[in-house]
Amino acid sequence: MPQRKTILVIGGGVTGMEASARLAEMGYRVTLVERQGRLGGHVDNWDFLFPDRKPAANILNPLKDAINYKVDVKLSTEITTIKKLNGQFISSLSTGDFVKTDVILLATGFDLFDARKKEEYGYGIYDKVITAAELEEYFSGKNGYKLLNKDGRGKIGILHCVGSRDEKVGNEYCSKVCCVTGVKQSMKLREYYPGYEVFCFYMDLRMFGRYFEDLYREAQEKWGVQFIRGRVSEASETHDNKISVRFEDTLSGKPMKISLDLVILLTGFVPASGSTYLKEMLSLDIGKDRFFKPVDEHLKRNHSSREGIFLAGACTGPKSIAESITEARAVSLEISSFLNKSE
């Protein structure tokens, strides 16, 4: 009986988990390495997902079950070096172990843009300026703080395109999923804090996916969320501890300001630090946006510039959870096809 082919999957987020489960199902021996002490990546921090508002656990639990006992999962482990020898990859891990595999799959995902770099928004300086990720933690009860008085009245602002489409921070690309996240969160904020008005400050509204336009309509019609087309230029703290933001209401062509009780920054995606480390080590191609560049955007989306090293998920650019799962399945097929040919 021929020896089972082996695969190393780097990254235990939704992409890594789904791909590992599929590849294991196909009969390969899969090792999944994750630098954090738990699986689930960013999705584990989200409260409820677009477009249908299902809880994040509804995706993570089935994925965890699918790899249970079928995949060799190594948590709190990082890759130290990878070398190629006799057509196989030898990876040394931070635990001191070695893993020898026929194929490597990079599912290293993304990091969130560090909002402190947009100094003009005062993140980390003004208390009432938080990121969308932090808001998800509040919703899921993870940090137990009190954001606002539930019976109070006031205004909340959601700022789009923080760290994306912005030459000043070196990220000219669009992070794609932040707009629908803003719309999703705007509705939940109106639900939690009915006395507060919610304003979304956008440049363009990228409602690219199925049902996203419905979410936008619902936010406007059912929840009365107000959308202002104009990018916020600066945030300052007022005498009564509110945040005053300046923006142009481009549709009327007038500069305006408004004081908000809470400001939420929709921070975009940047390549994960793990991706950058591996890109250097393996000399992989990256695009202008610094995410991994596959061989072809249509027919070889999951092939990196090196044979035997595959890519899937957000490490090749911003994408939604649904797309990442689809890519995880696609790359499993590509890997299987590659391994069959090399026999």
Partner 1 sequence: MRNNKFGFTIHSDNQINLDERDFNLYHKIISGEAGFMSCISCGSCTASCTAAAYTDFNYRQLCHNIRRGQNDAVAKELSKCMFCGKCSLICPRGINTRKIINLLHKELSKTGQYAY
Partner 2 sequence: MNVEGKKRVWKEYQKDIASDHYFYARSCIRQNFFPGSETTFLKILREELGKDIYDDPRHTTCTGIAYHADIVPFETTMTVVARQFSLMSESGYKNYVPSCITSFGIYTEILETWQHFPEIETKIREMLWKATGREFNKPENLAHSSDIIYKYRDEIANKGKFKLINQYTGAPLKVVEHIGCHYARMFPHKGIGGAEYPYVLTGMIESWGGEIIDYPERRHCCGFGFRQYLVKANRGYSVACSKRKFESMAPFQPDFIITNCPGCPYFMDRWQFVIAEMEGITYGSGGQGIPVLTYEEVAGLVLGYDPWDIGLQTHQVAVEPLLEKIGIPYDLNMKYKGEKGKFIGTPEYPEVLKVY
Site string for partner 1, 246-275 (x = CB under 8 A): x--x-xx-xxxxxx----------------
Q: What is the separation, in whole angstroms, between the first and last Cα of the chain? A: 13
Site string for partner 2, 147-186 (x = CB under 8 A): ----------------------------------------
CB under 8 A: which stretch of 115-123, 213-221, 271-279, 316-324 binds partner 2?
A: 115-123
CB under 8 A: which stretch of 121-129, 268-276, 298-306, 327-335 binds partner 2?
A: 121-129
Q: Which of 220, 236, 276, 326 binds partner 1 (CB under 8 A)?
A: 220
**Joined tokens for residue 49:** 């997902």
Q: Minimum CB separation from partner 2 for residue 260, in Å?
A: 12
CB under 8 A: which stretch of 52-60, 102-110, 125-133, 328-336 binds partner 2?
A: 125-133
Q: Is 145 in the site for partner 2 (CB under 8 A)?
A: no
The b/e string for 125-137 (b: 16+ C-beta within 10 A; e otherwise) is: ebebbbbbbbbbb
**Beta carbons of 197 and 230 less than 8 angstroms apart:** no
Number of residues lying near partner 1 (CB under 8 A): 17
**Beta carbons of 304 and 106 less than 8 angstroms apart:** yes
CA distances from 279 to 160, 186, 191, 209, 275 (A): 29, 37, 43, 30, 6
CB nearer partner 1, residue 259 or residue 305: 259
Phi, then psi, of 169 in degrees rounded to 5: -105, 10
Out of partner 1, partner 2, none, which partner does residue 234 contact, by CB within 5 to 8 A per kind?
partner 2
Q: Which of 53, 83, 98, 120 binds partner 2 (CB under 8 A)?
A: 120
| 234-237/243-249 β-pairing | antiparallel
Which helix (H) or strand (E) is 163 found in, with range? none
Residue recorded with tokens 């390969």: 28
Q: Is 123 in the site for partner 2 (CB under 8 A)?
A: yes
